[in-house]
Structure 1
Amino acid sequence: MVSFELNDTKKIGIGLTGFGVFFSFLGIIFFFDKGLLAMGNILFIAGLMLTIGLKSTMLFFAKPKNYKGTISFGVGFFLLLIGWPFFGMILEAYGFIVLFSSSSLAEASNSWVDFSAACRDIVLYWLQRKACTCVITNSGDKYLLACATNAKKI
Structure 2
Amino acid sequence: MISITEWQKIGVGITGFGAFFILLGALLYFDSVLLAFGNRHKLKGTSFFLGGVIVVLLRWPLLGMFLETYGFFSLFRGFFPVAFGFLGNAFNIPFLSELPQLFRRLQGTSSMV
Ranked by relative contact order (alpha carbons within 8 Å, sequence separation 6 or more), the top structure is 1
Higher helix share: 2
Higher strand share: 1
State the structure with more CA Rg. Answer: 2
TM-score, with structure 1 as normaliser: 0.32
